[in-house]
Amino acid sequence: MLREILPEEAIAAVENERALLERVHVFVDEFEPGGPDAARVRELIDHLEDMFLLVVVGEVKAGKSSFINALLRSDVCPEGPLPLTDRVHVLAYGEADSESMLDDHVSRRTVPVESLRRMNIVDTPGTNSPLRRHQEITESFLPRADIVFFVTSIDCPLTQTELQLLGDIRKRWRKEIACVLAKTDIRSEKDQAVVLEYLRHSFQEHLGFEPTLLPVSSVMAREAHEENDAAKLEASGFAAVERYVIENLSESQRLALKLRSPLGAVLDVLGRLDATASSQTQILHRDFAGWNSIREQVDFAGTSLKERAERQLSPIHVAFENLEARGRRFLRETIRVTNLRLFADAGRFRAAFETEVLRGAGEEIERKIDDSARWLSEQTKELWERSLSHFNETVSLAKYREEIAAGAGPRFEQTRDETLVRIRENAKSNLATWSVENECLRIRQLASRSLTRVLGTEVLAAGLGAAALAALVPTGLGLFVAAGVALSGFFILPARRQRAVEGFEKGVRETRNAVLVAVREAVSDEADRAAAAVLDAFAPFHDFYEGKKRSLAGVRERVGELKDEVSAFRAELG
């Protein structure tokens, strides 16, 4: 273990880093409990005190195993014409040769090689392998690397897939990279120079840095070891590799790299978490735009209902106008000298008035009022249906499925889906229990209560007390019958016909106005109530949006703080 060979001050640095990584782990696990990023940070913490890991990567048949064998001066890795490495092999020092499995894809092999006392060397499956799983195994292990030796063959140097892998190693995981150019013995010195220049240029252009370049021939190094030929070892390039490992990877340098390595991986985790929070925020903004459009639609629908309701009141107007015309004609024809007997007999006069003037006018007006109430009820139901349809179109479960899969995270997707399903089911349940008849009755009762108020304050206030009004206009009484009390005054006819006609017309107008005011108020109140009910049904999404938006803003702020803390700690390590 690393702790066993570290001085006391170095142990303190390890403990400080452990405490920092623990804070990051708690935060990441809170954001996505049990997620892969939390597991990755946990793994980094668990391996913080492992020996320094020099990880060798490269494409299939690039010469990785041959390079490791030549570096260790021992045939510890199998070599052959086919891919032989199907797992990660951690090579460590041991008095005897033994092997054990650390997990399904990582084995630990101990060999009595002195250079492994200072570090562990890791052989990985080849990337760009016909077996996709090989590359996945390699990529899953790379965040644990303290330094990466990238092996590329001189006969096919730095392919596009190699550049992609290097981009992850350098930019995503922020690892130190040394580039090994293998199989130099198959090309002339001139060709070697051209390829080395190509590598320098490509690394600078695509990755933004110039790596340590180590051209080697494993075949020549093996011969040099067998022949104990120092000049040949120098010519093979492995003398330079050994000097690099001993001099550039001194104890202090290895410790700095060891401590910096997890921090680079953690910065990648935090960057991805920030990108996830950003993706979720963008989805929420789009969802909220859909919610806003629903709110605007509902507000417009409520205003439109009130405006269109005026056309529904027109038949009530006409019914009252017909009543007024019949009454005017009756009175002018009845109040004559020749009809004084009829005029003097109140009972006969009332019967004649009801026959000639009313003739079912009350029932007709009641039907017109019912028609208006039914129309409003149906319009309200359509508002629910349109709003639900619009919600499904603008804030649907699948609308941003690809974006969610690309980075918003499964927990966010689940929470969002649950909220949307709950809203949708509540709205559908409301529609399923909707009854036009019940809504019609409720609207008429609303109009009746409004009429009671109008009659009480405007028409009958002068002649009827509150108790009398309550007795005449109980809740649920026919609107025309209730309003008809305003006509009662014309039955006590004055002597002059003109005054009688004017009194009747005044009574009809007051009755008509009272009914129309009552229906208008009922329509307005119902339109407002319907709009509020629809918005209330979708309000849980607004609450979800506001709460999640605040939460994500807090997440991104905390990510920024942790990134600053990790970067500062990493900078102190040099």
**Ramachandran region, residue 513 (left: φ > 0; alpha: ψ -120 to 50; beta: rest):** alpha
Same domain, residue pair 242 and 282: no
Q: Which of 71-75, 461-465, 485-489, 503-507 has the lowest mean pLDDT?
A: 461-465
pLDDT over 90 (residue 342) = no
Sign of CA dihedral 233, 235, 238, 242: positive
Give the span between the Cα atoms of 13 and 257, in whole angstroms. 13
Q: What is the DSSP string of 477-537?
A: S-HHHHHGGGGGGGGS--SSHHHHHHHHHHHHHHHHHHHHHHHHHHHHHHHHHHHHHHHHH
Closest listed residue to residue 449, CA positions, set 441, 51, 407, 558: 441
Does 359 share its domain with 241?
Answer: no
Pair 205, 333 in one domain: no
**What's the number of domains the chain is made of?**
2
The torsion angle over the Cα atoms of residues 328, 333, 337 and 341, rounded to 10 degrees, is: -90
Q: Which domain holds residue 68?
A: 53-248
CB atoms within 10 A of CB 529: 15
- What does the pLDDT average to over 447-464? 49
Q: Which tokens in the block code for residue 34?
A: 């049990």
561: tokens are 């703080």
555 domain residue, yes or no: yes
pLDDT band, very low/low/confident/very high, at 228 (cuts 50, 70, 90): very high
Pair of tokens at residue 159: 């392919």
Beta bridge partners of residue 151, listed in sequence order: 58, 180
In-domain check, residue 5: no
Task: Flag whether 25 is in a domain.
Answer: no
Q: Taking Cα atoms as reference points, which of 192, 197, 170, 190 lies closest to residue 182?
A: 192
Q: Give the mean pLDDT of 221-229.
A: 92
The string of pLDDT tens digits covering residues 328-341 is 787 777 655 445 55
251-334 vs 361-394: helix crossing angle, rounded to 10: 170
The sheet that has 98-103: what strands, in order across it? 98-103, 106-111, 88-93, 120-123, 53-58, 147-153, 176-182, 212-215
- Domain end position, chosen among 233, 248, 263: 248
Task: State both tokens at 61.
Answer: 């048949």
Tokens representing residue 421 in the block: 């399903």
Instruction: Tell which wins on pLDDT, 334 or 161.
Output: 161
Which of 454, 485, 493 is closest to 468 using CA atoms?
Answer: 485
pLDDT at 252 over 80: no
Tell me which of 43-47, 418-422, 475-479 is least confident: 475-479
Half-sphere exposure of 68 (CA within 13 A, CB side): 29
When pLDDT is averaged across residues 351-355 and rounded to a whole number, the result is 74
Give the type of residue at 436.
V
Q: Provide the 3-class DSSP secondary structure of residue 55.
A: strand
The answer to whether 220 and 186 are in contact (CB under 8 A) is: no
Examine residue 40 and state whether it is found in any structural domain, yes or no: no
Q: Is the pLDDT of residue 45 over 80?
A: yes
240-264: average pLDDT = 84
- b/e sequence 424-461, b meaning 16+ C-beta within 10 Å: beebeeeeeeeeeeebbebbbebbbbbbbebbbeebbe
State whether 414 and 546 are in the same domain: yes
Residue 48 lies in a domain: no
* Residue 503 confidence (pLDDT) above 80: no
Give yes or no: residues 124 and 208 share one domain. Answer: yes
Per residue in 513-523, pLDDT tens?
Answer: 777 777 777 77
Same domain, 184 and 240: yes
Any domain includes 19: no
Domain CATH number, residue 190: 3.40.50.300
Q: Which of 208, 230, 248 is the last residue of a domain?
A: 248
C-alpha to C-alpha distance for 450 and 447, rounded to whole angstroms: 5
512 with 370, same domain: the answer is yes
328 and 375 in a common domain: yes
> Residue 110: how many CA atoms within 13 Å on its side-chain side?
10
Q: What angle separates helix 36-46 from helix 251-334, to the nearest 10 degrees?
A: 160
Measured CA to CA, the distance from residue 403 to residue 409 in angstroms comes to 9
Integer-rounded Cα radius of gyration of the chain: 44
Rounded (10°) CA dihedral 392, 393, 394, 398: 80
Please tell me whether residues 412 and 543 are part of one structural domain. yes
**Range name among 150-159, 205-214, 361-370, 371-380 with the lowest pLDDT average:** 361-370
* 437 and 288 within one domain: yes
pLDDT at 468 exceeding the cut of 50:
no
Please give the pLDDT value at position 479: 47
Of residues 160 and 574, more confidence is placed in 160
Q: Give the pLDDT of residue 447.
A: 66
Q: Which of residues 114 and 10 earns the better pLDDT score? A: 114
| pLDDT value at 541 more than 60 | yes
Q: Which residues of 511-525 are buried (b: 16+ CB within 10 A; e: fewer)?
A: bbbbbbbbbbbbbee
Q: Please give the C-alpha separations between residue 400 and each of 87, 289, 540, in angstroms, as whole numbers.
A: 37, 14, 19
* 118-140 average pLDDT score: 76
Of the residues 248, 268, 297, the one at which a domain ends: 248
Residues 191 and 336 both lie in one domain: no
Give, in degrees to the nearest 5, the angle at Cα 563 between 571 and 138: 85
Tell me: do 376 and 486 sit in the same domain.
yes
Of residues 79, 534, 458, 121, the one with CA closest to residue 301? 534
The reported pTM is: 0.64
Alpha helix (H) residue ranges in 203-250: 218-227, 230-236, 238-243
Residue 208 gets the label, from left (phi > 0), alpha (psi -120 to 50) or beta, of left
Residue 410 pLDDT greater than 80, yes or no: no
Which contacts of 32-38 are long-range, i.e. CB under 8 A and separated by 24 or more positions? 32/273, 32/276, 32/409, 32/410, 32/411, 33/411, 35/409, 35/410, 35/411, 37/269, 37/272, 37/273
- If you average pLDDT over every residue of the chain, what do you get? 78
Sign of CA dihedral 366, 372, 375, 379: negative
- CA 193 to chain centroid: 53
